[in-house]
Structure 1
Amino acid sequence: MALRDYLLRRAATTALTFVLVMVTNFVIFRLMPGDPTLMYLQGVPPELRVEFEKVMRHQLGLDRPLHEQFLVYIYNCFTFQFGKSFLYMRPVVDIIAERLPTTLLLLLPATAISIFVGMRLGAEAAWRRGSKLDVALLSLSLFFFSMPIYWLGMLMIYAFAGSGWFPPGGVISNEFWDSRFAEAGLHPQNFFEQLAAMFMLDPAGAIVDIVWHLVLPVATLVLYT
């Protein structure tokens, strides 16, 4: 019974937080100064700007009442219709899809290791409550948690990438693999094609290279969480 009540409270809190975040996000962008249609008016002849602005406001739904805009916003969020990026002038879904594999490649092992290490050390600290181990683990966890993660990342890069032990960034050794691809007559166009070509040429080398690039960012996330 207690577990069920706890799960229900957590689910309700999560749902409420999700709704508040969506409402806040909608309100903030509506209160910000400026007009998003101006991003599309660059290069448009002056005699066409007024008509073009009307068309863009209609396409973006900015000519609708505020409550209709909110309902459309909620619908688009749940159907993954995020529109077009002002910066890249491409569908946002396509940009997310391109970057999602590398994001998951980083977050999944970092999350799994964090859970395992956290539960193991937490159990040890709870079993030896008040001991030197408990105090040391608590102090270390507070130290890393209070440190800005970007600063921790820079320290890790300075300490380990600066000495050449690990790469400072990236997912694979691009120069090395580009030469291998050229020798084999391969021309991968995206990350998935690169991975496929790498595992076709040298499966063990591909795994080692990816893990080598993941060590620093994964270690940073594990220490922070």
Structure 2
Amino acid sequence: MTSHYTPPAFITFTGVDHGDLLPGMQALSARYPIEWGVLFDAAQEAAALFPSAEVRAALRGAPLRLSAHICGAAARAIVRGDDPGLDLAGFSRLQINHARAGSNDDEIRNSARYAAHHGARAALQCQGEFPDDLRVDWLYDVSFGTGVRPSTWPAAQARLPFCGYSGGLGPDTVRGTLGRLPIAAGASYWIDMESGVRTDDRFDLAKCETVCRIVFDELPRTNG
């Protein structure tokens, strides 16, 4: 039997990459708390996972909660303190995917400053315990879009404003994983998934809906 758990504030489904998804995204967002993760990398634009500028513009014009997941040269520029010149209107969070190791003080400060300049909150990745630095949100990520599921998860503490979990999550794993996440009383968190909601390397809204139904409709909650 699944243990009771504290539900996430929302689920981030990352890798929206074609425009015909928009009506279904809007319908699903009307039913569940969802953030849609949009990947940015000029070197991979219009490839799988990375939408074209036209698709990004259509997403920004819709009433959706969006996060920009900035990769490649643009992410490296941001943590150096440079401005890569991205159009980020409509995005409420900016995840700066600059490296697979942790972030130093300059990188955290530059990421937070860049996001604030765009009226958004910055998120960075970590591979161990959630750092105590409150200038950014922290996503625990040892998978990097490959579907690798961690054997252990760091604890989300109430002293941190917002923590995220990623790695091997999808319709087949989210039910068993959520009950194992160490969420302290009063802590707020989100979950992120990418490869787990794709079919034949295309973003799959049916899988997103299945995940939402499990997380928000089926699993028993500690608060009711």
Q: Same fold (TM over 0.5)?
A: no
Higher RCO (CA < 8 A, seq sep 6+): 2
TM-score, structure 1 normalization = 0.21
Tell me the TM-score normalised to structure 2 length.
0.21
Higher helix share: 1
Q: Larger strand proportion, structure 1 or 2?
A: 2
